[in-house]
């Protein structure tokens, strides 16, 4: 089959009679596709596969249990042949005479219609014709689908919906390669992106020029846009019928205030989707070669911020403590832990700018790390790990 003389179309087949001649595997696959599209399917064949028999048993498909006979196409809008060449030729000739489109299995050159390889990603349908080569069409279809799913191809609607929605997307520890596939796809659909300081800013450059980017980045001890105003931005843009992505560092629900944004949007009647992210509490430790749990070393961990009361944390060196934020209070925090009964010789590490080209790991103990971090000029963004797992890091000597 060549492209010449053909016109790509999408058929509204729901509620319309379609005849499938044959009961084998090709007929089964095509029948299931037709049922999914809502067609009234009639199968003509002396025998059928177990899968087709199940559909027939449920009443989804009408079965004429015999070989095809002229006149069986009465009332049909479309016919699929999937038998031997003699029967297929007869069906095709009858379809031509009745002006019914015919999908001729295994013989695209003599068909009047061709079924493309189809992929569906959200509300987008991609249909690929491979010039009669089904394997080629399927490979191309899979490639396009993968690019859509990963966000490499734009998925944006060019007209706004009556009801917009908000996606709270976890961006991971900062490396764009650690952003989830779902997160990338939503970014490719976004009309507005509201971005944090610690989100992977490299993906912003990939957005179309007309996508609105609102930077609400918060620095330590400096919040230029308070949380209630961020909530208002999300709600305002969504009520304009826009797709809004709230791109956050790490995971939206791990000290990311994602829960507050979810509640605010839902209270305003805005639909919300939450896309988990790779939290820096675990991933940045891993970047430094530190597992937060390890057999024979640590069987549990706690994630806290450096601003909280820490006296109640488990004092065992076999229980890992992960502290997010709190670099400025490192000396005070460690002094509080030691006063609360933590061993002053407990290994500890501070990891700055995890997964970036300038990542730096400084190690010590509860008693020595604050001075070592100060001498190195350690600053946010950074996380602190406390516990014997720190000794597994290549930085530990």
Alpha helical stretches, state H, the chain: 25-36, 50-57, 85-98, 134-150, 181-189, 227-239, 258-267, 280-287, 330-339, 369-376
Find the catalytic residue in 196, 242, 251, 388. Answer: 196
199 within 8 A of 248, measured Cβ to Cβ? yes
Pairwise CA distance, residues 34 & 31, whole Å:
5
218 classed as catalytic: yes
User: Which residues contact residue 143 at a Cβ distance below 8 angstroms, ignoring those fewer than 6 apart?
Assistant: none
Q: Which of 89, 215, 218, 328 is catalytic?
A: 218
Q: At what angle do helices 369-376 and 330-339 cross, to 10 degrees?
A: 180
Q: Using the 8-state DSSP alphabet, how is residue 115 labeled?
A: P
Does 175 qualify as catalytic in the annotation? no
Task: Name which of 58, 71, 56, 72 is nearest 21 in CA terms.
Answer: 72
- Please state at what angle helix 50-57 crosses helix 25-36, rounded to 10 degrees: 40
What amino acid positions are annotated as catalytic residues?
196, 218
């Amino acid at each position: 089959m060549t492209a010449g003389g053909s016109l790509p179309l999408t058929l509204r087949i729901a509620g319309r009679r379609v005849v499938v001649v044959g009961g084998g595997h090709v007929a089964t696959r095509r029948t299931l596709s037709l049922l999914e599209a809502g067609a009234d399917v009639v199968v003509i064949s002396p025998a059928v596969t177990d899968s087709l028999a199940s559909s027939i048993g449920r009443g989804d498909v009408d079965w004429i249990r015999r070989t095809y006979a002229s006149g069986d196409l009465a009332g049909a809008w479309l016919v699929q042949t999937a038998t031997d060449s003699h029967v297929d030729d007869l069906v095709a000739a009858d379809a031509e005479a009745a002006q019914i489109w015919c999908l001729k299995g295994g013989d695209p050159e003599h068909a009047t219609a061709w079924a493309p390889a189809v992929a569906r990603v959200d509300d987008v349908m991609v249909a690929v014709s491979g010039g009669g080569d089904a394997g080629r069409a399927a490979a191309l279809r899979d490639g396009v689908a993968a690019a859509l799913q990963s966000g490499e191809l734009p998925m944006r609607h060019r007209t706004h919906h009556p009801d917009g929605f908000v996606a709270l997307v976890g961006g991971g520890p900062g490396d764009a390669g650690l952003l989830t596939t779902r997160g990338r796809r939503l970014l490719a659909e976004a009309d507005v992106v509201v971005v944090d300081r610690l989100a992977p800013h490299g993906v912003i450059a990939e957005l179309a020029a007309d996508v609105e980017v609102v930077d609400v980045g918060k620095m330590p001890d400096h919040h230029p846009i308070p949380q209630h105003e961020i909530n208002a931005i999300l709600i305002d843009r969504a009520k304009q019928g826009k797709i809004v992505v709230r791109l956050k560092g790490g995971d939206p629900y791990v000290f990311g205030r994602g829960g507050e944004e979810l509640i605010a949007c839902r209270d305003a009647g805005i639909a919300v989707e939450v896309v988990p992210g790779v939290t820096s509490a675990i991933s940045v430790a891993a970047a430094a070669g530190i597992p937060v749990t390890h057999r024979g070393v640590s069987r549990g961990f706690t994630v806290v911020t450096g601003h909280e009361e820490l006296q109640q944390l488990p004092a065992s060196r076999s229980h890992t403590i992960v502290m997010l934020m709190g670099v400025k209070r490192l000396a005070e925090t460690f002094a509080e832990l030691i006063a609360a009964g933590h061993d002053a010789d407990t290994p500890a590490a501070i990891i700055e700018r995890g997964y970036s080209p300038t990542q730096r790991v400084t190690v010590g103990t509860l008693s020595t790390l604050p001075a070592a971090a100060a001498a190195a000029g350690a600053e946010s963004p950074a996380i602190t790990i406390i516990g014997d797992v720190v000794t597994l890091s290549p930085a530990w000597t």
